[in-house]
Amino acid sequence: MSENSAAPGTPPATAPGPRPEPIRFFGTTWVDHDGGYGLRRAGVAAGSLAAAVAACFVLRFAYQGLEIAEVGGFVGVLVIAMFSICSAIAFRKTWEGFGARPEDPSREDALRGLKSIGFIGSLVAYFVRSLTEAPGEKLRRAEYEKARAQFEKRRSARTGNPAARKASGRKRPKRG
């Protein structure tokens, strides 16, 4: 095998220090914006927008099914309100997830069903964020740079062989 058999943007396995966390659809190409990063961002933006549009058509057909079934105006209003509110909440939670880790993971798990109902909001948030960066890139970059800085600080503090250091003026007595 060749040396370049790893995925684009993947750091070498022998590189010391922390490793960047991969992002869905991007891997670790977000670190140096290499390996087709721009094309991936464009693809993610187009894909999420297309999926949101397709989902809207599916919901429209479902609503037309309710009209054909003549369930009444009240049920139609409830369905529209439910999907609208759930989509707004899903958008907000997805958008917040791009900027910070959830404080309470169990609360996020409890909202999973609500976010599933409002999946259009999540798709729209993914689309909007991918216009400027890989979704979650800013958060992961800050975490990665912090980890690299801590690693470099620890590494620089213990460089050299302590046994080879010069004595600081006086010699220690030998233990006997």
pLDDT of residue 169: 54
Q: What is the pLDDT of residues 102-150, one digit of tens each?
A: 888 888 888 899 899 999 999 999 999 999 999 999 999 999 999 999 9
Cα 144 off chain centre by:
13
Q: Model's pTM, two decimal places?
A: 0.76
Tens-place pLDDT, residues 21-50:
999 999 999 999 998 999 999 999 999 999
DSSP string, 49-62: HHHHHHHHHHHHHH
CA distance 91 to 32: 28
Please give the sequence-ordered ranges of beta strands (E in DSSP) within 13-163, or none if there are none. none
Per-residue model confidence (pLDDT) at position 83: 94
